[in-house]
Amino acid sequence: MAVLEPVRYKVQAHRVEKLWFVGTNTLVAGQPLCYQEDPTVTVNGFPYCVEIPNTDNEACFAGVVHSNSEGVTGPGAIDVIIPQPGDILQVLLSNGADIAVGDILKLNFDCPTLSGSELGAFDAALAIGTVATSAETSLIKSLLNSMARVKRCRALQSLASLTGGGIVRTIKWVQFL
C-alpha cells in the first residue's frame, strides 16, 4: 500500500520594509500607503517616508500596512508590505461599489472612515468577471495600460456595496498585477 505524502505548497515571503509613517492616523492592517510627494525629506534616518494616499501622492504607491503595525498611531516607524506582481495579500477595500471576483481594483485616496478620517482603500476600477472573447481581452489590456500610473490588483473575493449610512472599509484578498 502506497503512503500518501502531504501536499506542500510553495510559500513566498512578502517583501517587508521598515518605513517612517509621517501621518498621525491610527493604522489598519492592509491599509494602502504612498510615498510622500517630496522624496528629499527624510526623518530619523529613514530614507523614505510614507503617508495616507492623497491627490498628490496616489501615483507613488508604497505598499500596505503589515499586521505587525496594526493599531500604531503615527508618526513613527512601521512595517510595510511592498507588493510584487503576483503577490496575494489582504488589503483594505472600499464598500462604495459592488466588487466581484476577478474585478480590477485601483487605489482610491478618497475613502473616509466612519470617524471621518481619510484612510484610502482599493476600489473598483474595471468590472470584468470572466473574459470570454479576444476583443474583450484587448479592451481590458488597453484600459489597464491607461491606468498604468496607478497600482492595480485583482479581487479574489467579492464584496457587496454598502447601502446604509456611513462608509465602511473591509479587508479582502487580492492579487497584485
Provide the pLDDT for residue 55: 78
pLDDT in tens, 58-71: 778 899 999 999 99
Tell me how many domains the chain contains: 1
Asked which of 13-17, 45-49, 109-113, 160-164 is least confident by mean pLDDT, the reply is 109-113
Q: How far apart (Å, rounded) are the C-alpha atoms in residues 76 and 33?
A: 14
Tell me if 1 is assigned to some domain. Answer: no
Q: Is residue 7 in a domain?
A: no
37 lies in some domain:
yes
Contact between 137 and 70 (Cβ < 8 Å): no
User: How many other CB atoms sit within 10 Å of the CB of residue 94?
Assistant: 24
In a domain, 9, yes or no: no
Domain-located, residue 121: yes
Render pLDDT for 87-118 as a digit per residue (tens, 0 to 9): 889 888 877 778 888 888 878 766 544 344 55
Any residues with CB less than 8 A from the CB of 42 and at least 6 apart, and which?
A: 48, 49
Q: 2 in a domain, yes or no?
A: no
* 38 in any annotated domain: yes
DSSP conformation class of 46: B
Domain that holds residue 99: 16-176
Residue 5 forms part of a structural domain: no
How far apart CA 168 and CA 120 sit, in angstroms, is: 11
